[in-house]
Structure 1
């Protein structure tokens, strides 16, 4: 038991696939499970974890290849990662029910977790969720390379225009092609509470010319709206001032969304 609801405890679990670092804080059901996107550590959830831990138990972890966890020994896809998270929750005595909160690729995993372990999941918050068609839609939107490109712009262009197909493009060695194929079709989750949080990821992005941002943003919002088909109790929340990493740019919108869903879950029993 933690000394206070805001104090996270950094620990390591030994799984068959390797040592996985995790942190928990707070008490009370359902447990909020925070799932990170690509290219980020779970520590970026710390402020949100601290805010939520006043009301419930919160769990975050570093997937293999991230943070303090071991490096992965093999290439894996989203299905493997979903089962690995379930094994981690069991190994750490983190019992259901769960309220899954995922960002970007982590939202794809949270959605997959809800599909595979539907009886254990009581709510789903998808933050700027990776969409199975996003690379097809936006790969050609990037301007051609030029000498004024920053290293970050060059990396983004390389990844979106084909690098994402190579598992070794990320330290997690994820087969994104297989991962996206797993969730190309919307598999309805019944009346599971689902909140889709959509940011101004393209309208605020410095990677695209100002003349194309509004059109790209409209396409992105359309892809995000498709996720509302996941549930009869799905809703969309907009974070127009935020870029893709809402947990960095507008954490309050996520805290409010999770707390609202938490209250709804508890009210309905």
Structure 2
């Protein structure tokens, strides 16, 4: 997420800004192999590797430098285990800016659906979402249950905890979002409306280093969304789990409970 000088302390030794800012949702990278595809009226860059099933789709977070390059290490870790697709949402990374402003959670879910179909047109996939990426992943999982074999939420922002608290700002326009130009209030509201995923296999993966009590509680709350959920901890990582401990993401995928 956006590097910000302002830091809002929580009750505890760290700040949520420290947890979610800077590299939380992507980093600038070199040119990569992929292609720009049509995505529900937008254009977005997608990179897929491997052929093994079930396929995995990786959803990045938000920030002024957000893009899917943050998933590189995880995609490499999953090589030989899963066909894996990551993508830059419109207005991030290698994707052009969106054609309209104010896209919401339903729009993000529709754009995610194009990547799911690119990963596997026939069978359900595993959706793995980091940080803010948990919002569109939740909306998608609720409305496209037949396309999701399992969900892994990696240090995902719990909707009641809230994105503004996560980045330590008071107003939505202070949340860095590259050129996405989303209606963030609507995205969060729609994610908050997801109150049950029934028995969808769900793994919640949280950081092992520096999490405040409030953040830990929010992560525990995410497990209540499914009757088939587990909570795991990436012991050596901070919020940047996909880059710092990609093997923990791979293990979390493997730990998904059976439906």
1:195 match: secondary structure: strand
Superposition pairs of residues 30-45 of structure 1, within 5 angstroms: 30-39=54-63, 40-45=66-71
**Which structure has the highest helix share of the two?**
1
TM superposition score normalised by structure 2: 0.77
Q: 1:15, 1:80 → 2: CA distance?
A: 10
Cα distance change, pair 25–92 in 1 and its aligned pair in 2 (3 A): closer
Contact 2:126–2:148 (Cα < 8 Å) also in 1: yes
Aligned length in residues = 225
Aligned to 1:234: 229
Is 1:183 the counterpart of 2:191? The answer is: yes
Structure 2: any 5+ residue segments left out of the alignment? Answer: 1-31
Aligned partner of 1:85 among 97, 112, 118: 112
Aligned to 1:49: 75
Aligned partner of 1:126 among 130, 142, 153: 153
TM superposition score normalised by structure 1: 0.75
Contact 1:64–1:72 (Cα < 8 Å) also in 2: yes
Contact 2:40–2:107 (Cα < 8 Å) also in 1: no
Task: Give the root-mean-square deviation of aligned CA atoms.
Answer: 2.5
Render the CA deviation track for 1:54-88: whole Å, top value 9, x for unaligned.
Answer: 01211111100111111012221122100122134
Q: With CA pairs under 8 Å and 6+ residues apart, which has the higher RCO, 1 or 2?
A: 2
Structure 1: any 5+ residue segments left out of the alignment? Answer: 1-7, 140-155, 205-216
Contact 2:136–2:191 (Cα < 8 Å) also in 1: no
Aligned to 2:24: none
Render the CA deviation track for 1:68-121: whole Å, top value 9, x for unaligned.
Answer: 111012221122100122134446764431101000111221121111100111
